[in-house]
Amino acid sequence: MTRTIAVANQKGGVAKTTTVASVGMALAELGQRVLVVDLDPQACLTFSLGLDPEALELSIHDVFMGRVGTAMVVRTISTNLDLLPSTIDLTGTEITLHDRAAREYVLRSALADVNESYDFVIIDCSPSLGVLTINALTAANEVLIPLQCETLSHRGVGQLLTTIGDVRRLTNPQLEVLGVLPTLFDGRTTHARAVLADVSGRFGVTVLDPPINRSIRFAEAPATGESILTSASSSPGAAAYRVHARQLLGQEAAA
């Protein structure tokens, strides 16, 4: 069965896109068939994987509007890794969906057309708790929460968990939280360590290990149209994401 993972946090700048691209590529390296889905109108995932959103004729927006089937929009990025790209048109999609019946299920329906082709579908959610993120949570089996270890990002975890609870109650009872993934982490600071400890104690969620340490390599990767696993394959950040991919497959025990 396809595992569908929504990578969500309504705060921007917490490495959601980096996490989707890096985990997706790491799973593809391990022989898994992976589809990454750009569900953000800013189209950062699309750009980061080497496509120009402004030059695309078709995107996930066209799927949501019922103009084309999902398979017609999917683009191959590398061996075992495909992308369902986004463009700025997705902003209008969110407005249109507000007036549509069963609007929470549109992405689930779209992915049903291609799920048999993939072992994993990983969704890059927009930095909001709007209808697009609700669609992602309704379509997913699991949620991964990237967390920059600072106070503002920490505050959003409670709001996201409340939304996840609502989704479980109303549209997707099987939805599970994989855990919180510390990103942009600097273990030398007392504040980062304190925020991480408080998240675990306050919300009762699993904190995934290893953390993803802050590195300029993550900022450099999108400029090459590649994930860090390709642009800086031997870097500590790439190694950490490979560990998380192996943990998803049960090949390596979580710490």
Q: Is the dihedral of CA 120, 154, 231, 225 positive or negative?
A: positive
pLDDT at 253: 64
Topology of domain 3-248, CATH:
Rossmann fold (3.40.50)
pLDDT at 2: 96
CA distances from 199 to 16, 17, 95, 146, 155 (A): 18, 22, 33, 12, 9
What CA–CA distance (Å, rounded) separates 215 from 184? 7
pLDDT at 219: 67
What CA–CA distance (Å, rounded) separates 111 from 33? 14
Mean of all residue pLDDT scores within the chain: 89
Confidence band, pLDDT 50/70/90 cuts, at residue 152: low
Taking 90 as the threshold, does the pLDDT of residue 203 lie above it?
Answer: no
Taking 60 as the threshold, does the pLDDT of residue 83 lie above it?
Answer: yes
Confidence band, pLDDT 50/70/90 cuts, at residue 255: low
Confidence band, pLDDT 50/70/90 cuts, at residue 57: very high
Average pLDDT over residues 6-24: 91
pLDDT at 75: 98
Tokens at 24, concatenated: 């997706």
Average pLDDT over residues 15-42: 96
CA atoms within 13 A on the CB side of 245: 26
What CA–CA distance (Å, rounded) separates 200 from 90? 34
Q: Which residue has the tokens 């049960």?
A: 250
Domain ranges (residues) in the chain: 3-248
C-alpha closest to that of 117 among 30, 35, 55:
35
Phi-psi region of 177 (alpha: psi -120 to 50; beta: other; left: phi over 0): beta
Of the two residues 99 and 180, the one the predictor is more confident about is 180
Taking 70 as the threshold, does the pLDDT of residue 254 lie above it?
Answer: no
